[in-house]
Amino acid sequence: MTEVWFYHLQRQPLENVLPHLVEKSLEKGWRVVVQANSDERLDALDQSLWTYSDASFLAHGRARDGDAELQPVYLTTDVENPNGAALRLFVEGVDMTKALAGADPAYVRAIALFDGNNEEELLLAQEQWKKLKDLGFALTYWQQGDNGRWEKKG
């Protein structure tokens, strides 16, 4: 069964955290799907992945780019997994249960990234934690410490 992790962002915005998670996943040989609620949010993430570092970028694509199955990182607002991703990242309160209830066996891990300074995202994360726990998923909670490092809290 897919491991499900919750990342509680407190010290850095999503645009700073996402590229590093994607990099680490690609280093493991995993393909990645990033799911957001809107095309506008995907536009911002698209830009962030191209420009997050002066020294490098993260190759990625969306449905409009074509060749989805060839993309190491695929950005979407839907539940598809066209690139055979091992990791699925959910941002800004996307309903994880829709994508994971009939989970594609290719997923090794799914991660919800939520803004700890946004009350709505906190509540959505809590609701999803409960739903996924009830469905039998193994859940892990990570929180950014004062030093910006991730600390396993549950």
Question: Tell me: the pLDDT tens digits for 37-53?
Answer: 999 999 999 999 988 88
Residue 22 parent element (H or E): helix 14-27
Q: Is residue 44 within 8 Å of 99, Cβ to Cβ?
A: no
Percent residues over pLDDT 90 in the chain: 68
Domain count, the chain: 1
CATH number of the domain bearing residue 129: 3.40.50.10110
| DSSP state letter for 148 | S
Q: How far apart are CA 16 and CA 53, in angstroms?
A: 10
| DSSP state letter for 126 | H
Domain residues for the domain of 117 are 3-152
Question: Tell me: the pLDDT tens digits for 27-85?
Answer: 999 999 999 999 999 999 999 998 888 888 888 999 899 899 999 999 999 999 999 99
